[in-house]
Amino acid sequence: MKTTPFTPFHEALGARMAPFAGYLMPIEYTGIKDEHNAVRTRAGVFDVSHMGEFWVKGPRAFDLVQRLTTNDAAALVDGKVQYTCFTNETGGIVDDLLVYRFGQEKYLLVVNASNIEKDWAWCAKHALELGMDPERDLENASDAICQLAVQGPLALEVMQRLTSANVKDMEYYAFQEIPLAGIDRVIFSTTGYTGSGGCEVYAYNKDAGRLWNAVMEAGADVGVQPIGLGARDTLRLEAGFCLYGHEIDDEHSPIEAGLGWITKFVPGNDFINRAYHERLKEAKPSRYMKPFELLERGIARQGYPVEDSEGNEIGAVCSGTVSPYTGKSIGTAYVKSGFQATGTEVFIRVRGKALKAAIAKTPFF
């Protein structure tokens, strides 16, 4: 079981620790509801060092990124980030990820912890097909880099106290390499997985202790607190963000998953299996991933059946929870075409009982 450089801090704070994607990670400290609402109203600090980081370098770096990802890497400029996904050869998604452009010949790919090995093999395979040398042009830096996500409406205000660089006015999905908290250089990115704004900071493992202590001290007066993966999941679901293995996987197209906005059918963007997804978009999918709100008391869980008013099964739940911020029972599900419009009445079968729900919009807060 791997640990992160921040593990001693989690344990000292009494976090409930559990295995996740091969790492021992903090699930909660003071409770999911308390932590969730701290991020929505103030700011919280997440250890997300389990995420994977791959460098892509060299003369064909752009070609590889453009080939692997559905978004249009040609639209990226230095200092900007794209949300995108890898598509496989059978109509599904290998992973969703972030792409950072440092230059025409240097990119950083940030992938999901549970998919690091799979994604690395995928990148290396296609690098070879483009005539690249994976040992020279690719670098798996996942074990050398730690990452903190500082999220919430006060996050950038807190982080501004730790650097002379202007981070408070940064555009969404931008990044800078800057000195911060006495560390010579970090990657400071205005990205996140909560829907409440903030940043993600990448540093080398040797600087983890300094980074953690500085952030917690800088935010002490506004109530910044550490947040576990339990609240990370409720926050992302409340915001309407996909989670690999739930809303997206190897069997669902980004077109079905509501990710058409990161699937660009533009000239020059010949991503893997593009023709399949383009045909699917034109023909309209037979299923759609949609958010819903339960209108009766209960909690939907992954795999629960979704039914129409006559009891016919029309889909299955991807994720579900009670929103700590609103108190509503919310979730996502794949539903058959014809049931995807906002406001459509559906039923979720929870422990044998069909509970009324309605297709909704995100964010839920």
Q: Is residue 129 part of a domain?
A: no
pLDDT digits (tens, 9 = 90+) for 267-292: 999 999 999 999 999 999 999 999 99
Q: Which amino acid is at 188?
A: F
Residue labelled with tokens 């739930």: 246
pLDDT digits (tens, 9 = 90+) for 286-336: 999 999 999 999 999 999 999 999 999 999 999 999 999 999 999 999 999
Q: Is residue 128 part of a domain?
A: no
Q: Are residues 161 and 216 in the same domain?
A: yes
Q: Are residues 167 and 228 in the same domain?
A: yes
Contacts of 177 (CB under 8 A, 6+ apart): 185, 186, 187, 188
Q: What's the total number of domains in the chain?
A: 3
Q: Are residues 71 and 115 in the same domain?
A: yes
Q: Are residues 30 and 64 in the same domain?
A: no
Tell me the CATH number at 94.
3.30.70.1400
Tell me the CATH number at 310.
2.40.30.110
Q: Is residue 260 part of a domain?
A: no
Residue count of the chain, please give it. 365
Q: Are residues 35 and 56 in the same domain?
A: no
Q: Residue 7 has which token pair?
A: 């593990």
As a whole number of angstroms, the distance between CA 261 and CA 316 comes to: 23
pLDDT digits (tens, 9 = 90+) for 209-263: 999 999 999 999 999 999 999 999 999 999 999 999 999 999 999 999 999 999 9
Q: Of the residues 239, 267, 300, which one is the last residue of a structural domain?
A: 239
Q: Of the residues 68, 87, 122, which one is the last residue of a structural domain?
A: 122
**Containing structural domain, residue 56:** 52-122
Q: Are 175 and 203 within 8 A, CB to CB?
A: no
Q: Are residues 21 and 79 in the same domain?
A: no
Q: Is residue 101 part of a domain?
A: yes
In this structure, what DSSP letter does residue 49 have? T
pLDDT of residue 140: 98
pTM of the model: 0.97
b/e map of 242-264 (b: 16 or more CB within 10 Å)?
Answer: bbbebbbbeebbbbbbbbbebbb
DSSP 66-101: HHHBSS-GGG--TTBEEEEEEE-TTSSEEEEEEEEE
Q: Are residues 44 and 189 in the same domain?
A: yes
Q: Are residues 44 and 57 in the same domain?
A: no
The alpha-helical segments, DSSP class H, found in the chain are 7-12, 32-41, 61-68, 116-129, 134-137, 155-160, 208-218, 229-239, 274-283
